[in-house]
Structure 1
C-alpha cells in the first residue's frame, strides 16, 4: 500500500519542481553591421544546468526554450536587422549552478565558460573566452534564482558584444580542431614554441603570447638591479600605460597591483605562485596604486608598491598556484582562492 502511495505522489513531487528561466533579452546589436549570423555550438557534456534555492524552495535553472541553436540565432536576428558578412560562433563549454551551504543559510554559485570565434574561408579564428565563477549571497539578492539567471544572460550578451570589436587571433583552425581549440591554438603561439623569452615590456597578453615586446617601453631597475617598474625608452616614466608582463634576462615576470612575480611553466601551462593580497589587494591605497601601477614607477607610488609587496610576501602565509589562461592571459584561480566573489 505504501509503495502504491509513493508512486501516486511521485508525479506531484515532479510537478512541484519550479523553474527559473534564463531569458535572452539583452541587446546584442552589432553597431558596425558587419555581423551576418551567430551560431551556437553547445559543447557541454551535461546539458542539465542545476538547481538553486530561493527561500528553501528548489528551482531548476534552464533556458527558456529547448532548441538552443534556434534560440540563440533568433536572439541575434532580433537585434541585427542590418547584417554584413561576418559569421560568428559561440561555444558554450560549461554551465552549472548549485547551492553552497553557509553557516546560517545557503548561497548560490555559478560556473560558466564560453568562447567566440569568427569563421572565414571555412576556417575558425579565436576571438574571446570568458570563464565565470561567482557566489551569490542571500543578503545581497532578494531573489538569488533571478540574479543568477540574469547573470547568465548578461555574461553571454557581453562576450557576444565584445567579440564584434575584437581582433581575431591570426591562427586558423578547422572545424574538427574546435573540439580541442585551446591546445591546438596554444601550440602554435610563439610563447609555447620558443625556447626562451624575448626581453622587453609587454602591454597585453596577446603581445606576450606572440613575443612582440613594446618598442617604446623598457624595464626600470634600481641600483641593486631589482625590477621597479617600466619606463619609456626616452627615460620618461610611463605612468598610464597598462603592462601585462616584463621579461628581463630571459626571465618573465607577471605584473600585479603590488609587485612582479616570476612566471613558471609546467605541463598545464604558465602560472605564478601568489597570495590573494598580491592579486586582489584590499587596502584602498594599494588598489588605487595597483590600478595605475601596471605602468607606474618611482616616486611615492613606487614606495607604496614596495611596501605592499613586502607586506604581502612577509605576512601572507597562503600562496597558491594561479594559472594563466593559454588564450586570454586571465588568471585561473584555484577553488576558494578569493574569500569573497561577486
Structure 2
C-alpha cells in the first residue's frame, strides 16, 4: 500500500508539473543542403542572461503556462541536427543563444498581439578557432487569435530559417578564440578598419566585409551612369581589356570620400553616427515586393504560417515614415529592431 501511494504521488507530481508547462516541439528539419562545409554536429552555447522564455496564457481558459525546452537547449538542438543530417564533416556548427523571450500584449478585435525577443549567432568551429557565420537580433511581432500557441509553434520555424541561412554563409577568414565569443559584436567592430578612422577609401565594394574592412576592388574602376545620373555599372580598363561589374553586384561604393549603398531602388547616401552606418529609408522602400511574412528578416528567406495579407501589409509599410536604418556590420543586412509575423 505504501509503495502504491508513493507511485501515485510521483505520477501526480509529474502530471501537475507538466500541466503548468508548454513544451517547445522541435518539428520540421534543419537539413544542410548547401554546398558549403559539412558539420560533424551542432553545439549550443547558452549565453542568455535570463533563461526563462516566458509564462503565457493558453487555451480558452487562458491558463498560465511556462514555455520550456523539452530537456536542455544543447540536447534539443543537437538531437534536432542529428535527426536532420548525416554525421560527417570536419567542423562543428556552433549556435549561440543570446535571447529568447515571449510576451503577450493587447487584444485587438479577435486577435491578440505577441512579441518574441530573438537574438542568436552562429559560428564554424575548426579546432579551437571560431569563424563567424551569421546573426539575427530583433523582436518579432505576432498577431493571432491564439497568439501564445502560435508563437511557441513558430519557435522551431524561426530557428530553422536562421540555421539554414547560416549554412549558406561563407565563414569569415579571420578567426577568434572562445573568449571572444562572449561579446563578439563589440570585438569585431573594434577590429573593423572602417571604424578606426574618419576617411573612407574611394572604390567599389562587392560585400559588407570588404566595405567594413575597407578593402575596395583592386584597380581604377570608373562608375558609369545613365541619363538620370543613376549608377549602372563600374568599369575597369586594364591591358586593353574592360572588366565590367553590374550595379546589382555592388554592395556600396565610395566616391570623393562619400559612401553610397545599393538598394532595390538604386544607390542611396550612406551616413554615419555613433551607432554605425545607416541610410534614411523605410521597409516599404527597401522591400517593395515581398512574397512572405518575414519581409527580409533573414535576407528574404523563409515563410511562416499565418502570414499577414500581403497587399494591406505592403501599403502599411509604404506609409511608414522614413528613419535611420542601420547596416549590420556583421551581416550587411538592414538592422530593423522589429519584424512582423
Q: TM-score, normalised by structure 1?
A: 0.71
Q: What is aligned with 1:106?
A: 112
Q: Structure 1 71/283 Cα, relative in aligned 2: closer, same or farther at 3 Å?
A: closer
Q: Structure 1 62/83 Cα, relative in aligned 2: closer, same or farther at 3 Å?
A: farther
Q: 2:43·2:74 contact (CA, 8 Å) conserved in 1?
A: yes
| Alignment partner of 1:91 is 2:74 | no
Deviation of 1:116 (Å): 0.5
- What secondary structure sits across from 1:111 in the alignment? strand
The within-5 A match list for 1:65-80 is 65-80=70-85
Among candidates 52, 57, 60, match of residue 48 of structure 1: 52
Q: 1:263·1:271 contact (CA, 8 Å) conserved in 2?
A: yes
Q: What is aligned with 1:231?
A: 233
Q: What is aligned with 1:25?
A: 27
Deviation of 1:100 (Å): 2.3
* In 1, Cα distance between equivalents of 2:320 and 2:39: 50
Which moved further from structure 2: 110-119 or 67-76?
A: 67-76
Q: Structure 1 195/174 Cα, relative in aligned 2: closer, same or farther at 3 Å?
A: same
Q: Structure 1 37/318 Cα, relative in aligned 2: closer, same or farther at 3 Å?
A: same
Among candidates 121, 125, 131, match of residue 131 of structure 2: 125
Q: How many aligned residue pairs are there? A: 290
Deviation of 1:181 (Å): 0.4
Q: Deviations over 1:280-309 (max 9, x none)?
A: 44799xxxxxxxxxxxxxxxxxxxxxxxxx
Among candidates 255, 258, 263, match of residue 256 of structure 1: 263
Q: What is aligned with 2:173?
A: 170
Q: 2:135·2:331 contact (CA, 8 Å) conserved in 1?
A: yes
* In 1, Cα distance between equivalents of 2:266 and 2:107: 34
* In 1, Cα distance between equivalents of 2:55 and 2:250: 41
Among candidates 269, 272, 275, match of residue 265 of structure 1: 272
Deviation of 1:58 (Å): 4.8
The within-5 A match list for 1:147-162 is 147-162=150-165
Runs of 5+ unmatched residues, structure 2:
1-12, 236-241, 292-317
Among candidates 212, 219, 223, match of residue 219 of structure 1: 223
Q: What is aligned with 2:211?
A: 208
Q: What is aligned with 1:290?
A: none
* In 1, Cα distance between equivalents of 2:28 and 2:289: 33
* In 2, Cα distance between equivalents of 1:58 and 1:248: 60
- What secondary structure sits across from 1:169 in the alignment? coil
Q: What is aligned with 2:309?
A: none
* In 1, Cα distance between equivalents of 2:229 and 2:80: 49
- What secondary structure sits across from 1:49 in the alignment? coil
Deviation of 1:21 (Å): 2.4
Q: Structure 1 23/190 Cα, relative in aligned 2: closer, same or farther at 3 Å?
A: same
Q: 2:131·2:172 contact (CA, 8 Å) conserved in 1?
A: yes
| Alignment partner of 1:198 is 2:198 | no
- What secondary structure sits across from 1:187 in the alignment? helix
* In 2, Cα distance between equivalents of 1:67 and 1:316: 43
Deviation of 1:227 (Å): 5.1
Q: Structure 1 236/165 Cα, relative in aligned 2: closer, same or farther at 3 Å?
A: closer
Deviation of 1:95 (Å): 0.9
| CA RMSD between the two structures | 3.5
Q: Structure 1 152/229 Cα, relative in aligned 2: closer, same or farther at 3 Å?
A: farther
Q: Deviations over 1:221-256 (max 9, x none)?
A: 467xx85123142597937x3443222211112223
Among candidates 266, 279, 287, match of residue 286 of structure 2: 279
Deviation of 1:61 (Å): 5.7
